[in-house]
Amino acid sequence: MGDLAGLIAKRLGLGLVTLLVVSVLIFFAVELLPGDIAQAVLGQGATEETVAAMREQLGLDRPAPVRYFEWLAGAVTGDFGTSLVSGERVSSAIGTRFINTLFLAAYAAVIAVPISILLGIVVALLRNSLFDRVANVMTLTSISSPEFFLGYILILYLAVKTGMFPALANLRADMTFVELLHRTFLPALTLVLVVTAHMMRMTRAAIINLLASPYIEMARLKGTPPWKVIVRHALPNAWAPIINVVALNLAYLITGVVLVEVVFVYPGIGQLLVDAVAKRDFPIVQACCLIFAATFILLNLTADVGAILTNPRLRHPK
Amino acid sequence: MSNFVIGYYAALIAASCLAAYYQNRKVFMLLFSLTLVSFVLGIIGGVPALRGVTIFAGLLALAAGTSYAFREFLIQISKPGIAKELRTAPLTASFGMFVIFTYAIAGIFAPWIAPYGESEVIAQTFAPPDENLLLGADQLGRDIFSRIIYGARNSVGLALVATLLAFIMGALGGLLAAVKGGWFDQLMGRVADVIMSVPSLIFALLMLSIFGTSLIVIVIVVAVIYSPRVFRLTRAVAGNIVVMDYIEAAKLRGEGDWYLIRKEILPNSTAPLVAEFGLEFCFVFLLIAGLSFLGLGIQPPTADWGSMVRENATLISFGDITPLIPAAAIALLTVAVNFVVDWMLFRSSGLKEQ
Amino acid sequence: MTKKNQLLLNRIAEEASRGGISRRDFIHYSVAAGVTATTASGLWTTSARAQPKSGGTFRWGIHDGNTSDTHDPGTYLTRVMIFLAHTHRSYLTQINGDGSLGPDLATSWTASEDASEWTFELTQNASFHSGKKVTADDVIASLNHHRGDDTTSAAKALLTDVTDITKDGDYVVKVKLGRGNADFPWLMTDYHLAICPANDDGSIDWKSGDGCGPYKIDSGEFGVQFSLSRHDGWHGEGAYFDKVEMITLNDPNARQTALVTGDVDSVSQVDLKTVALLQRDPNINVMNIPSAGAITMPMHCDTAPFDNVDVRNALKLAINRDEIIEKILFGAATKGNDFHHSPAQPYWPEGIPQRDYDPDQAKSLLKKAGAEGLTVNLSTADSVSAGAVDMAVLYAEHAKAAGITINVVREPNDGYYSDVWLVKPWTLVSWGARPTPDVMYTLAYKNDAAWNESRWQNERFNELLLQAKSELNDSVRAEMYREMAMLARDDGGTVIPFFNNFVYGARSNVGTPENLAASWESDGARAASRWWFTD
């Protein structure tokens, strides 16, 4: 197990380096955007004097590297600064929205992960049957429709026509948990449709891939029933790629849901990030991107560790 | 009971009996269970439900027939070696090939096939379909059919070029990293990590805002976003091959890196790469559609399926199918691509079905 | 009166009290039912005017909100903030439903002879949500927020003529101007000029979100939602709802479905494509209000080929305004006539001949100018307005008939107003509604204006502009605006295809006044305090 701890430490270290590079990249990308915060905030009404006055107030007249290192010095001590536009602390501006995003991601994941793995196993068992084909076409259709469009269709049938679920997922502080689940069902369902197909197909592929192995052939020749071959023999060795694709999709649920937020008016972090980019509000953009990057790195690490733990051969290297 | 219903059940039962007579168990089970389901459906949904089933079955049969004919056609025109391979293709795969073929024709010969110009205003706003306008007109009075045809060229072309570029960059990087190893491998790995850890939509948003939304920029940005995924896969696949004995032998013979990649590694890693290509292609397509939803996609008046969905998306709430047509075009193509990919994957996995 | 007519009359009166019938229709039907017009008018007053009921929570879906919005009146930019400002803050004056100027915090206003000094008398009943009385100090501090060298307010240009603001007791404010301006009280309706509580040092406290408007903010998050409840100490009429929820709905489909499913009671903008379909829904009223907002296409009059007036007029003749209004705006616009003065503004000159699509005449003008086969670039961007690029593409199709080639250049959305507008020789611009023609002309047509977008220099026009500005006699002033309109139309460098309408919707149980203000969507952004529930 010592190796594993060493591996985790090494990966965390590399992750920090990645975060640093990301922060430099994002900073200069925001610098390179045409126009600046003063023009963006004042809009059509900006005159040269007011723009200059605002730049001076925000300290934007100083050179870019100076501002980056100031930010970095703060970030290292856990202080991500204040929003340039509203003057609010970055942590409080992001806090509740990040929790909302996590909630929606968890909601979708709780539905999508078991369904897709189960379905994946079933279609691997019934491969090339009618059921396999139908499941294949359905899931492919659902991932190949743009997600905003899936959202619109769900709204049409489940909100406008039948009125079973609300079309808007705007949250209120005094909602009960059940109300919350009801209100956010449509965005969660949209996300489920988006990620299920990918996970299901990878589960199916990972299992079918193993079916040609000699040891499976052996089990089959011994007369083990097909479902037992898959669950007992193929699945344990297929966990690594499955965990990998699950991690990738979980990361997507957290970082890639801007469009779903827009369609369902859900107050998550993606909309905040897009707005902050439009306003050139660098501290917010930076903090959001780092949260996303950290999520991605941690989930990847978890997947790798999970793969090692579930694979006997990797757990006991030769 | 109408003539339609009588004919419907008569046909189903007759077909079931025929299947039973020829002892085709699968077909019999399918037809007979359909008959039983139809009883229930007919009671609940009435004649319209049965009509729906008929239309659906008809479409399915049409698709199957087309696929079969198309496969035979391909077998006839190709060389014996390829023809033998093609015979193993399931109907779904040949259906996929047929759709891809149709789209390619539509894209390449768009100006000759489309009855009107891409941005030509020829009718009233939202004019209904008639013999001149196969699918009606859009919000400016342009022919939707013509725009779908041109869209095949623009959207598919763009996604294809972007995916290809992503593959060239990613696969080349992955292969080199696997062969060279050491610091180069590490460096490439970190670069891929950095790009992947920034959400793709945000990355695209930043880059397109900085460099403008010309076609070249879109292609490059999308390729850069997706190349790390290809890189990782290639690196993993090639990493498994590099440790094989025959590679060792080639190295001892004194072969260069380029020879190793070209002659030894690439031929042994095409299958997973091709499978990835199918999925990546869909993702690229969807990313471009998502970008046009945020107003950063292909420039109007160029026809592009993603923008066509977005422009008329609000109409869907009123049951107007205008935005469904380009969406269906996207979905059909991705399904088709994946059918073909499934077949290739199946063949290359070496799995013999019992 | 027969019994049948009596029944009809009762029905009409009931309809009027629900707010489902306009005054004109009411009188029309009543007269048809056998009542004299005068009686009908009186009936209207008793059945409809006395009607607004109190109560309920008004859920209001508003387009265009941003998570980086703030309460600083100097940087108000999005619709959500403008609407919120009209709901939780107050202004000195307001634009009434019929387009006239009415009192808000100021109960009356008078000018000196040359209109260079204005005196505003404040109401003594107004208080902030914190309980503090609204006094002259607050007004002065709020106006000064937009003045001075270090202000970051976008409204600075509006108040450049102000030289001094003083008080005369706690409830009188005097404003001195560098030159006379008869429209100054109209300027006070500008959305930036909200009155906020003053700090002791003469600055204002905008951060707390305190205001003296009809509703106070209970909780809120920028770009998401604001919950407000009625401010009992409000000085004005109306504010029938108990609570107001303002929800940011940027996605057009989200707005539409929310209105259809009843998740909101009103939305501030409806997708024009779906208006016809939405109107079929009996639970929804679509309001379509002509506004003073416009699309302009200014050509730089000092740059070839636009320095030739015949070329300019040829381009004005080469656009088919009717088709653009029909296809881009689905009819929701008033045809423009190349002078920036809308029928929704005061002093609108009637009877000026409409300029129409005439490619042949355009051709002959070009021939006269020696510019046949003209090729020009028109810059635009998606963000300018919905359908801006489509509009330019259509215009290019129209101009082909006059032998003109228009290359539509789609510029990036980001930085359009800093890098393209006023820089490229021919651009497409969207202008919000301005309250009076003087404000509009001074901003964008005066020879030395920073935003003289067409770089148009016309001596007579500028002379008239200055005269009209300080002219307190309405009919003399109207005559001056007519002459200016003719000059802009026939000599100016701006193509104005249309003045757009505000198209917004409400559930049918929402009662509205007979006239809806044309200054912003949702009844001049004041739906929260002017509307009510009928059930």
C472 within 8 A of C182, measured Cβ to Cβ: yes
Q: Is the peptide bond before B199 cis (omega within 30 degrees of 0)?
A: no
Which pair of structure tokens corresponds to residue C160? 């450049």
B100 within 8 A of B121, measured Cβ to Cβ: no
Distance in Å, alpha carbon of B210 to nearest chain A alpha carbon = 5
Distance in Å, alpha carbon of B349 to nearest chain A alpha carbon = 6
The count of C-alpha atoms lying within 13 angstroms of the C-alpha of A63, restricted to the half-sphere facing its C-beta, is 3
Chain C residues lying within 8 Å of A34, measured CB to CB: 412, 414-415, 418-419
Subunits touching C (CB < 8 Å, at least 3 pairs)? A, B
- B314·C330 Cβ contact <8 A: no
Q: Which residue from A46, A168, A262 is facing C154, i.e. has the nearest CB?
A: A46
Let me know if residue A37 belongs to a domain. Answer: no
Q: Which residue from A14, A146, A289 is facing B198, i.e. has the nearest CB?
A: A289
Pairing, β C532-533 against β C510-511: antiparallel
Q: Which of residues 207-236 of C touch A (CB under 8 A)?
A: 207, 219, 221-225
- B194·A130 Cβ contact <8 A: no
Which pair of structure tokens corresponds to residue B295? 């107003």
Query: What 8-state DSSP symbol labels residue C45?
Result: I
pLDDT in tens, A7-51: 888 888 888 888 888 888 888 888 887 777 777 777 666 677 777
- Is C35 in a helix, a strand, or coil? coil
C239 within 8 A of C214, measured Cβ to Cβ: yes
Q: Is the peptide bond before B301 cis (omega within 30 degrees of 0)?
A: yes
Chain A residues lying within 8 Å of B327, measured CB to CB: 145-146, 149
Type of residue at B152? A
Which of A168, A272, A273 to probe by mutation at the C interface, max C CB count within 10 Å?
A168
Separation CA A115–CA A199 (nearest Å): 9
Q: Give the residue from chain A lying closest to B206, CA to CA.
A: A29
- How many Cβ atoms sit within 10 Å of the Cβ of residue A228? 11
How much is the ipTM here? 0.78
- C257·B317 Cβ contact <8 A: yes
- C197-to-A223, C81, C167, C169 alpha-carbon distances in Å: 85, 18, 16, 17
Chain A residues lying within 8 Å of C220, measured CB to CB: none
C413 in reach of chain B (CB within 8 A): yes
Q: Give the residue from chain B lying closest to A274, CA to CA.
A: B202
Please give chain C's pLDDT, 535 residues, in tens: 455 556 555 655 555 555 555 555 555 555 555 555 555 555 554 455 447 888 899 999 998 888 778 899 988 888 899 999 999 999 999 999 888 899 999 999 999 988 899 999 999 999 999 999 999 999 999 999 998 888 888 888 888 889 999 999 999 999 999 888 888 999 999 999 999 999 999 899 998 989 999 999 999 888 888 999 999 889 988 899 999 999 988 888 888 888 988 889 999 998 888 888 888 888 999 999 988 889 999 999 999 889 999 999 999 999 999 989 988 888 889 999 999 999 888 889 988 999 999 999 999 999 999 888 899 999 988 777 777 888 898 899 899 999 999 988 877 666 677 778 888 999 999 888 888 899 889 888 988 887 889 999 999 999 999 899 888 888 999 999 999 999 999 999 999 999 999 999 999 999 999 889 988 999 999 999 999 998 8
A219 within 8 A of A176, measured Cβ to Cβ: no
Residue matched to tokens 């001075």: C148
Q: Give the residue from chain B lying closest to A140, CA to CA.
A: B335
Residue matched to tokens 């009596």: C6
CATH number for A162: 1.10.3720.10
Q: Which domain holds residue A112?
A: 103-280
C180 within 8 A of C238, measured Cβ to Cβ: no
Chain C residues lying within 8 Å of A83, measured CB to CB: 68
Separation CA C288–CA C333 (nearest Å): 9
Which pair of structure tokens corresponds to residue A260? 């779903």
Separation CA B101–CA B232 (nearest Å): 31
Q: Residue A239: CB partners within 8 Å, gap ≥ 6?
A: A306, A307, A310, A311
Which of C418, C422, C428, C448 to probe by mutation at the A interface, max A CB count within 10 Å?
C418
Q: In chain B, where are the structural domains located?
A: 3-63, 111-349
Q: Which residue from A33, A208, A289 is facing B210, i.e. has the nearest CB?
A: A33
Q: Give the residue from chain A lying closest to B288, CA to CA.
A: A146
DSSP string, C323-346: HHHHHHSTT-EEE--SSS--TTST
* pTM given for the model: 0.79
**Based on the number of CB atoms within 10 Å of its own CB, is C204 exposed (0-12), middle (13-18) or buried (19 or more)?**
buried
Chain A residues lying within 8 Å of B190, measured CB to CB: 14, 17-18, 21
Identify the helix (H) or strand (E) that includes residue A201.
Answer: helix A185-211
- C39-to-C35, C36, C48, C50, C386 alpha-carbon distances in Å: 6, 5, 14, 16, 46
Domain B111-349 listed as CATH 3.30.1180.20: no
Which is nearest to A247 in space by CA: A294, A193, A206, A296? A296
Q: Which of residues 111-140 of B touch C (CB under 8 A)?
A: 119, 121, 125-126, 139-140
Which is nearest to C440 in space by CA: C351, C526, C344, C516? C344
Partners of residue C122 on adjacent β-strands: C106
Identify the helix (H) or strand (E) that includes residue C504.
Answer: strand C494-507
First to last CA, chain A: 14
A264 in reach of chain C (CB within 8 A): yes
For chain A, the domain total comes to 1
Let me know if residue A213 belongs to a domain. Answer: yes
Q: Which residue from A22, A152, A262 is facing B194, i.e. has the nearest CB?
A: A22
- A22·B209 Cβ contact <8 A: no
Which is nearest to C404 in space by CA: C357, C361, C366? C366
- How many Cβ atoms sit within 10 Å of the Cβ of residue A25? 17
Q: Give the residue from chain B lying closest to C331, CA to CA.
A: B125
Q: What are phi and psi of A46, to 5 degrees?
A: -75, 130
